[in-house]
Amino acid sequence: MAVRQLFGRVEGSSGTLYHASTLLHDYETLTVTREQSGTYRINFDNVFSQEPAVAAQVISAYQTANAMIYTYNDPAMTRIVTGFSDQAAGEYVDVDFYFTITGEGF
């Protein structure tokens, strides 16, 4: 089984996917949906054979900005939640972020 790696940059305010790229397959595509403030769903058009590893890094001038990752054991999508660690619990904030998703494919 081949290892797949997907990566890109998401604009927090709109959920727009910029600079998306993949290693291994040029025909692979991703879609990003901004579900609500600070919550983004990334769907993979080709499902991984098992839950992939996901890493995210926010792009912010604020040191308290964080990205939290929720995969829900689903090889077809992941959720990334952004916000600030000094905000009240449950208050997510739109922040730009980079992501990398790596896992076994096809």
Q: Which residues contact 83 (CB under 8 A, 6 or more apart)?
A: 38, 65, 66, 68, 91, 92, 93, 95
Q: What is the pLDDT of residues 11-67, one digit of tens each?
A: 999 999 886 675 545 556 788 999 999 899 998 888 888 888 898 888 877 777 777
* Domain containing residue 19: 3-104
Comparing 71 with 93, the larger pLDDT belongs to 93
Instruction: Return the pLDDT at 35.
Output: 94
Q: How many domains does the chain have?
A: 1
Phi and psi (nearest 5°) for 17?
-90, 120
